[in-house]
Amino acid sequence: MRPLASSDQFNDIMSRIGDLAMLNIVWALCCLPVVTIGASTAALFETIRGIREGHDTHIIRRFLKAFPSHFMTNTALTLIFGAFLTLATFDLWYLSHHMSGSSTGALAYGAVATITLIATAGAGFVFPAASRSTRPLRGQIARSYMLALRHPATALATWCITAAPVVIALAVPGGLAFVLFFWGLLFSGVSAWIITALLIRVSILTETVNRTPPED
């Protein structure tokens, strides 16, 4: 009986990996216009929540149904976060290249890096809950920061998982190609699965079987 159980468990794991790989590829394709990254990411998290709730059939159809949900709000969130990250990246680049030799430059670099970390970690709960949230844009951001203050360890873990491909791409030789291939094929879906599990564990997201209640 044990070998049979192990075989069934292995098949379930491989089936789930296959589901995540399919979702990952669809997510990557829907991210290509760039401004749709938020809508695509929200749909990825919503579909994964559905899988955890027992809705593990027609997952691509579920993703495509979730993708246009709150599309304008998710697009606005993408533009806001994109503008902030672009500005923060430019500031860090400028400080490291033009003020690296001064104590003022080092202090400013540390301040910008800290603000960027806090801002991005605080916003890490927005897209996982976006597809079921009825809150306006400002309310979703405010709720994410409030939850981050209540659950700092989860916020930091979520940030580390999300930032991992960026760190690898920038710090590891050949990391960009590695990230483009593996995060475009599977690891984005796996990361979203882990983050969803973390948020459910601390009740930031709810998980019910055979029904999908509204988040807010």
pLDDT in tens, 117-166: 999 999 999 999 998 888 999 999 999 999 999 999 999 999 999 999 99
Better-predicted residue by pLDDT, 134 or 77: 77
**Among the listed residues 40, 118, 119, 110, the one whose alpha carbon sits nearest the alpha carbon of residue 83:** 119
Q: Which amino acid is at 35?
A: V
How far are the Cα atoms of 14, 39, 42, 157 from residue 30, in angstroms, in the given order?
24, 8, 11, 26
Average pLDDT estimate for 69-98: 93
pLDDT at 212: 43
How many other C-beta atoms are found inside a 10 Å radius of the C-beta of residue 44? 30
Better-predicted residue by pLDDT, 65 or 206: 65
Q: Which of helix, strand or coil describes residue 148? A: helix
Question: How many Cα atoms within 13 Å fall on the side-chain side of residue 55?
Answer: 18
Give the whole-number percent of the chain exceeding pLDDT 90.
74
For the cut 50, the answer to whether the pLDDT of residue 45 exceeds it is yes
CA–CA gap between residue 19 and residue 21 (Å, rounded): 5
pLDDT in tens, 204-216: 987 654 444 445 5
pLDDT in tens, 99-121: 877 888 889 999 999 999 999 99
How many other C-beta atoms are found inside a 10 Å radius of the C-beta of residue 187? 20
For the chain, what is the mean pLDDT? Answer: 90
User: Cβ distance 88 to 112 under 8 Å?
Assistant: yes
User: Cβ distance 121 to 148 under 8 Å?
Assistant: yes
CA–CA gap between residue 141 and residue 32 (Å, rounded): 24
- Tokens describing residue 60: 């691509």
Better-predicted residue by pLDDT, 55 or 145: 145
For the cut 80, the answer to whether the pLDDT of residue 188 exceeds it is yes
For the cut 70, the answer to whether the pLDDT of residue 33 exceeds it is yes
First to last CA, the chain: 45
